[in-house]
Amino acid sequence: MNDKSERRVFIRDLELSALIGVHGHEKAKPQRVRLNVELYVREAGDTADDIRNVVSYEAVIARIEAIVAQGHVHLVETLAERIARDCLADERVVSVRVRVEKPDIIRNAAGVGVEIERRR
């Protein structure tokens, strides 16, 4: 991202409770997921210190929470794709990187999951 008008908006280690997984116990009980999202954003000139002129991480988090609340998904890949697609719906977003991690699923691992990158 060499253009001066591009910024990186990020969300680090957002923890939510989600119904996610292919196993019976994962379908019956929500589990903790950790999400990291990086948006490369093309902003139009001066932001004029006005939130309407930027991609708001608060709004992105609200949309992620809504996606997770839609119900059970089998795969972390599916959840990552849904989040990426939602982020790219904003014309200012040039690319997005999404990491979905399940920190509690493998006892001797800090976390397992997937990371994807999608570009416009």
> Between 99 and 25, where is the model more confident?
99
Instruction: Assess if CATH 3.30.1130.10 describes domain 6-119.
Output: yes
Domain limits, the chain:
6-119
pLDDT digits (tens, 9 = 90+) for 6-35: 899 999 999 999 999 999 989 999 999 999
Q: Where residue 4 falls among pLDDT bands split at 50, 70, 90?
A: low
Question: Looking at residue 43, what is its pLDDT?
Answer: 75
User: Strands 6-18, 93-102: parallel, antiparallel or unpaired by DSSP?
Assistant: unpaired
Q: Where residue 112 falls among pLDDT bands split at 50, 70, 90?
A: very high
